């Protein structure tokens, strides 16, 4: 299996940190054109994706672009990282001297959610069945 940001495969993921608000993924590409394509994917994300906290509710991620291009479905092959929707935040590229075909990157994503819907006090089991925790 592979790690995908939308339909873009990441060559190698070497580390990650999953916090309450964001996910940081460290990895590297072996092809310069793949790294350039990854940087292009994040070109409009810097100031267009907002993370908002609500004191009385759950936080949410908002994309300010008209085409919602910065909200992507990501698939990860590790059990620790959650497959679901993420908002693109930043990408950092730090070249290493003396390494050929090794282009390290650090990606930061906002976690939005999974394919399963969530509503307070309710659990969605399938599309036809909606149950609550009071057994009413």
Burial class (CB in 10 A: 0-12, 13-18, 19+), 38: buried
pLDDT band for position 80 (cuts 50, 70, 90): confident
pLDDT of residue 119: 43
pLDDT of residue 20: 78
pLDDT of residue 44: 87
Q: What is the DSSP string of 29-72?
A: ES-HHHHHHHHHHTTTTTTTEEEE--TTS--EEEE-STT-TTEE
pLDDT of residue 95: 83
Q: For residue 122, is pLDDT > 90?
A: no
Phi, psi (rounded to 5 degrees) for 13: -105, 120
Residue at token pair 């069945």? 129
Q: Which residues pair with 52 in a beta bridge?
A: 60
Supply the pTM of this predicted model.
0.76
For residues 84-94, average pLDDT? 90
């Amino acid at each position: 299996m592979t790690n995908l940001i939308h339909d873009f495969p990441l060559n190698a993921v070497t580390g990650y940190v999953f916090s309450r608000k964001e996910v940081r993924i460290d990895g590297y590409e072996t092809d310069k054109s793949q790294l350039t394509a990854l940087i292009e994917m994040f070109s409009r994300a810097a100031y267009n994706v907002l993370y908002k906290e609500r004191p009385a509710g759950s936080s949410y991620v908002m994309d300010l672009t008209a085409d919602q291009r910065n909200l992507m479905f990501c698939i990860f092959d590790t059990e620790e990282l959650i497959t679901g929707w993420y908002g693109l935040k930043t990408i950092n590229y730090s070249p290493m001297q003396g390494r050929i075909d090794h282009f390290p990157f650090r990606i930061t994503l906002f976690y939005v959610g999974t394919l399963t819907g969530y509503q307070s006090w309710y659990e969605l089991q399938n599309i036809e069945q909606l149950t609550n925790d009071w057994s009413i």
